[in-house]
Amino acid sequence: MINLKELLQSYYIDSSGPLSLPIRQFSLHSAVPNENGVFFCRSGRRDGLDFVEEAIDNGAICIIATDPALLDKQKDFPDTTFLVVSELPSVITILLHTVYQNVYDDMEFYGVTGTNGKTTVTYMVSTLLNRFGFKTGSVGTEGVMTHDMQHLDYHKTTPTTPEAPELARIIRRFHEESYQSMVFEATSIALDQKRTDFFPVDTGIFTNFSRDHIDYHGSIEHYLESKMKLANAADTLIYSLDEPAFEELHNKGKPVITFSLKNPEADFYGEQITYNDNGSHFLLYAKGRKYEVYTPFIGEHNVYNILSAFALLHHKGVPVQAIAEETAKLPPLRNRFQLVTMCDRRFILDFAHTPIALEQSLDVARNLADGKLIAMVNGIGLRGLDKAQRMSEKIGPAIDEIVLGAEQVGYTEPLDVLQAMQEALPSHVSPHQVTTAESRKEAIAACIERSSPGDTILLTGINEPQHYKGTLIPHDDLEEISNYFHSLCPKLKKTI
């Protein structure tokens, strides 16, 4: 039994109904089955109180909210407990930590944060941990993944880091199936909203940092401050010495493990990077020894990613040489500089959707392309016109053809996104190089129309269902490419 008034005394305002309850689970969403559960009632586009009845129908025995009007529901639902508190995030943290503490004590948790690379590092670390016998699940943009890389279905309401009650259900399931650890992507928004505060973090990995999510944070300072909350929570910190924003991590008074491509003093230092269509090779210096490393992941940015994975695996006691041998066998990750050949065109599908990631993707693609390079560069309407302009500014002089597109526009007009991008194009880009398209689908078609056999087409951005004026439109780049070529290329050649 949980005594809510005693446990939440610092946040308690008022209540009705019994406060000592056999609570088993929690939810922020009224439609989720929640037997003997707590429903955290918050308002968004609609008044959260509108969902109380549905939550009770789905098993909730307690409703918690910050709105005092919640207590008016008592007359309609006399058998339910209603509790008014001063704020929800801290209350959620306390309750989840209390109810599931035995679960967290039996597992280890590794958080990955940074502007770019979170998904790739999470994949690398979780895959390698499983290869070395640590039964590990992962949570992030790719979904919830089991130790054998199967997707788990769950009620997903956020793109990357789940809401705290959802995350708790995932952790509980991993625990029930005897998982030893979980790797999770920790976004700045999730950290700011305390979604991961309810469980201990053994190690925090910090990939890189650049301006992003200012639409939410308001300033780059608050964005960095939110990222640093993972450093406050984690026992051990892994970070790049090449990222100035992370210099303060050395002063946290915690064990640190560093990696670098510029500073030989790092614990894991890489140099002499070469790459081609098959992957990347580099020399790794670690623990006083030199190692030759190959990874199927292409580009300098992915060498940074793999160095962070080396750091975590070695921290877990795995020898460096053994990590290097398994790194060579890592299957490439979908949409992370994924190479596909169709109708004698080489396509590169890359999730790059921030200015820095785009710049890196364009550079690597240019080095790989033998013929003409056609690049699709998209502005994300949901992230604001300022970010769309900063994407355009990163287009270098070595790109032969450019297709500007609008994606994930939400309620922003696609033409407004495109106008902002055109206004920000660098002076070295001439008008005849540029085509515009109002959707990701149209942008892909425009890229193909401008191509010839032997050309390379780089498709950057978010290859996912597209948000358009309240509707989620199904989308998959490979399907769009295949559909385009089926009439032109009857014997469709596809290599993934």
For residue 257, the domain's CATH number is 3.40.1190.10
Domain endpoint, select from 87, 112, 139: 87
Q: For residue 194, give the nearest of 233, 154, 235 by alpha carbon.
A: 233
Q: Are 314 and 429 found together in one domain?
A: no
- Whether the pLDDT of residue 493 is over 60: the answer is no
Q: Give the residue, 67 or 45, on which the prediction is more confident.
A: 67
What pLDDT is recorded for position 471? Answer: 93
According to DSSP, the β-strands at 25-27 and 60-65 are: unpaired
Q: Are 460 and 482 found together in one domain?
A: yes
> Would you say residue 96 lies in a domain?
no
What is the count of structural domains for the chain? 3
pLDDT in tens, 113-150: 999 999 999 999 999 999 999 999 999 998 999 999 99
Calculate what percentage of the chain has a pLDDT beyond 70.
97
- Whether the pLDDT of residue 496 is over 50: the answer is no
Cβ burial 404-419 (10 Å sphere, 16+ → b, else e):
bbbbbbeebebeebbb
> Would you say residue 333 lies in a domain?
no
Q: Are 259 and 117 found together in one domain?
A: yes
Q: Are 389 and 432 found together in one domain?
A: yes
For tokens 């500007």, name the residue. Answer: 404
Q: Are 321 and 396 found together in one domain?
A: no
SS3 258: strand
What pLDDT is recorded for position 151? Answer: 87
- Whether the pLDDT of residue 102 is over 90: the answer is no
Reported pTM: 0.90
Q: Are 68 and 162 found together in one domain?
A: no
> Would you say residue 92 lies in a domain?
no
Burial-class residue 290 by CB neighbours within 10 Å (0-12, 13-18, 19+). exposed
> Would you say residue 149 lies in a domain?
yes
> Would you say residue 95 lies in a domain?
no
What pLDDT is recorded for position 216? Answer: 86
- State the CATH number of the domain containing residue 40: 3.40.1390.10
- Whether the pLDDT of residue 213 is over 90: the answer is no
What pLDDT is recorded for position 153? Answer: 80
Range of the domain at 55: 2-87
The rounded distance, in Å, linking the Cα atoms of 385 and 412 is: 9
Q: Are 136 and 284 found together in one domain?
A: yes
pLDDT confidence bin for 495, thresholds 50/70/90: very low
> Would you say residue 110 lies in a domain?
yes
For the ranges 100-104, 368-372, 427-431, 446-450, the lowest mean pLDDT is seen at 100-104
What pLDDT is recorded for position 301? Answer: 94
Domain endpoint, select from 327, 357, 373: 327
- Whether the pLDDT of residue 489 is over 90: the answer is no
Q: Are 392 and 434 found together in one domain?
A: yes
User: What is the rounded average pLDDT for all residues in the chain?
Assistant: 93
Mean per-residue pLDDT, 262-282: 96
Mean per-residue pLDDT, 26-41: 93
Q: Are 164 and 274 found together in one domain?
A: yes
Q: Are 359 and 303 found together in one domain?
A: no
pLDDT in tens, 280-336: 999 999 989 999 999 999 999 999 999 999 999 999 999 999 999 999 999 989 999
Q: Are 75 and 38 found together in one domain?
A: yes
Q: Give the residue, 333 or 260, on which the prediction is more confident.
A: 260
- State the CATH number of the domain containing residue 342: 3.90.190.20
Contact 492, 364 (CB under 8 A): no
